[in-house]
Amino acid sequence: MSYDRKPVRSTTRWMSFAVVFAAAGSILLLVTHAAQPTLGNAEAEGGKLASGASVIADATASGGKAVQFHVSTSGGGGGGGQSTVTGPSGSASPSGSSYGNHALSQWLTALAGRSSKPVNWVAWGDSITEGQGSSTVAGRWINQTLNGLRSAYPTSGVTGGFGYIPAWYGTYGPDSQWSTDPTGNASWNMDSNQMGNGPGLGLLTVTLQAGKYETFKVTGTSIDILYNYGGGSFSYKVDSSGATNVSASGGSGATGSKHVAFSSSGSHTVTISGVSGSVILEGVMTYNGDENKGIRLYDSAQSGATTGEFKAQISNLAAITAHVNANLVTIQFGGNDFESNDELSPSQVSANLKTFVSDIRSAATGHEPSIVIVVPYNHTGTNGLGYTWPQYVSAIKSVTTADSSLGLIDLTTFATEGTSSPYLSSTDQAHPNNSGQTRLASMVESYLEDK
């Protein structure tokens, strides 16, 4: 059984995914930023959102020997103080995780300066990172981890926005019906070789031709509209305001962006429409007082993705990651490389991961991020190429062994897909359910907080 939307041995989930997208427009994205985010009428998994909350390591995920650097904040309960490294201690990271030649140093330095500069985490991956299995978009482990980090490292005067919202989500029902967010009638493309109409974070883009549109419902103080440079133009309007036209031509690089400040903080409906030509819309970055400081999240994951598909757009993905000034990039792949319509050998996977790392660093001139490789949890059996999952695990880990500046989060203790687990969806026994999302958040947050 595959993690994602392109299984080898079953077409059931792919067909369900297509049916959900055929019904696109039935659900609107509502992102809130209170301590317990909600989506529509469904309450999201809260994670560790309370001020001063501590990370409690899962009993099966505490065997790692990584170095802990306690990071304390000066100042009162309002947060915003500078963080300082105070010394090593025991580890609560997932078993088998490591820091290399302190791979998190750049990330921790950015956290220490969060009161004067934004701290950006870009999460690359497949459906595990995109959040398939979570009943709400805000309940995904990446969002829970973001909330936990903001609680552990508060920034004075900053609530913090939801983060980056792609032009469409690659999730599917019945567990993750928010696949239909955002809404609209823009053209999207499920071609497995391109996974979208153009380069964008997660390769989740749409084509805005004249008269086509996308609608985002967000809560906050402003947004950035990210799009591909090229021909044509688009417009945006906020709530019932008039439309403002933007030319998508004349720039250079993989990504153009247009900042749109709201007249007031709160919930807003943003409609982005094609005016002329064909414009590739990547998505929107939402802010809630964190335009210039605080911790922020860019989602660059897509269900069904393999390392080969991301490699096909690696130059653009690396350029966009550099464009948003990433301080941390987590890279989680492998499940679909092991078992999908596009199986790759373990050596191909490790080679692709090395290319990701090299290109991210090359593009990030003067702002090189910390990079952490994430090993997915376990598969069983032998794939169509004759390889077993432990061979892929070894190949993924070899990337960090060869480069001591890379971090490693080993999630193999989390669960084994295809087997009964309190942390996996009962629908497919492959993706984390709500409890699993919270557990993953605890494991990853523990690592990123250097505990």
pLDDT 10s digits, 13-28 = 222 333 333 333 333 3
Query: At 47, is the pLDDT very low, low, confident or very high (cuts 50, 70, 90)?
Result: very low
Of the given ranges (46-55, 114-123, 317-326, 396-405), which has the lowest mean pLDDT?
46-55
Largest Cα span, the chain: 59
pLDDT at 197: 61
pLDDT at 340: 87
Looking at residues 306-333, what average pLDDT do you find? 95
User: Contact at 8 Å (CB) between 90 and 185?
Assistant: no
Looking at residues 348-356, what average pLDDT do you find? 98
Give the domain extent around 313.
12-163+191-203+288-448
User: Contact at 8 Å (CB) between 47 and 54?
Assistant: no
pLDDT at 23: 34
**Torsion of the alpha carbons at 388, 390, 392 and 395, rounded to the nearest 10:** -140
Check pLDDT > 70 for residue 84.
no
Q: Give the amino acid at 101.
A: N
User: Contact at 8 Å (CB) between 114 and 317?
Assistant: no
DSSP assignment string, 108-165: HHHHHTTTTSEEEEEEEESHHHHTTT-SSGGGSHHHHHHHHHHHHS--TT-----EEE
pLDDT at 344: 95
Closest CA to 71 of 79, 61, 59: 79
Mark out the alpha helices in 285-370 (DSSP H runs): 307-311, 314-323, 335-338, 346-363
Check pLDDT > 80 for residue 302.
yes
Q: Does residue 263 fall inside a structural domain?
A: no
Average per-residue pLDDT in the chain?
80
Q: Does residue 275 fall inside a structural domain?
A: no
More confident residue, 34 or 239: 239
**Torsion of the alpha carbons at 234, 236, 242 and 246, rounded to the nearest 10:** -40
pLDDT at 415: 95
The count of C-alpha atoms lying within 13 angstroms of the C-alpha of 68, restricted to the half-sphere facing its C-beta, is 18
Q: Does residue 261 fall inside a structural domain?
A: no
| Residue 435 CA: distances (Å) to CA of 144, 254, 414 | 12, 37, 12
Looking at residues 219-242, what average pLDDT do you find? 95
Distance CA 241, CA 152 (A): 38
pLDDT at 151: 97
CA 220-223-229 angle, 5° bins: 170
Distance CA 444, CA 451 (A): 10
Query: At 148, is the pLDDT very low, low, confident or very high (cuts 50, 70, 90)?
Result: very high
Distance CA 37, CA 178 (A): 14
Q: Does residue 222 fall inside a structural domain?
A: no
Distance CA 286, CA 151 (A): 19
- Contacts of residue 441, Cβ cutoff 8 Å, sequence gap at least 6: 47, 48, 141, 142, 144, 145, 148
pLDDT at 63: 26
Q: Does residue 43 fall inside a structural domain?
A: yes
Q: Which two tokens stand for residue 97?
A: 């995780």
pTM of the model: 0.81
pLDDT digits (tens, 9 = 90+) for 158-202: 999 999 999 999 999 999 999 888 888 887 654 434 456 678 999
Q: Which two tokens stand for residue 358?
A: 């090299």
Q: Does residue 221 fall inside a structural domain?
A: no
Helix, strand or coil, per DSSP, at residue 400 = helix
Q: Does residue 227 fall inside a structural domain?
A: no
| Residue 233 CA: distances (Å) to CA of 132, 189, 357 | 33, 20, 34
Check pLDDT > 70 for residue 314.
yes
Of the chain, the percentage scoring pLDDT greater than 70 comes to 77
Q: Is 157 left (phi over 0), alpha (psi -120 to 50) or beta?
A: left
pLDDT at 45: 25
Looking at residues 58-74, what average pLDDT do you find? 28
pLDDT at 188: 63
Of the given ranges (192-201, 308-317, 408-417), which has the lowest mean pLDDT?
192-201
Check pLDDT > 50 for residue 8.
no
Q: What is the CATH number of the domain that holds 47?
A: 3.40.50.1110
pLDDT at 105: 92
Closest CA to 216 of 31, 19, 21, 22: 31
Q: How many domains is the chain partitioned into structurally?
A: 1
Q: Does residue 409 fall inside a structural domain?
A: yes
Only one residue has tokens 């605890």, namely 442
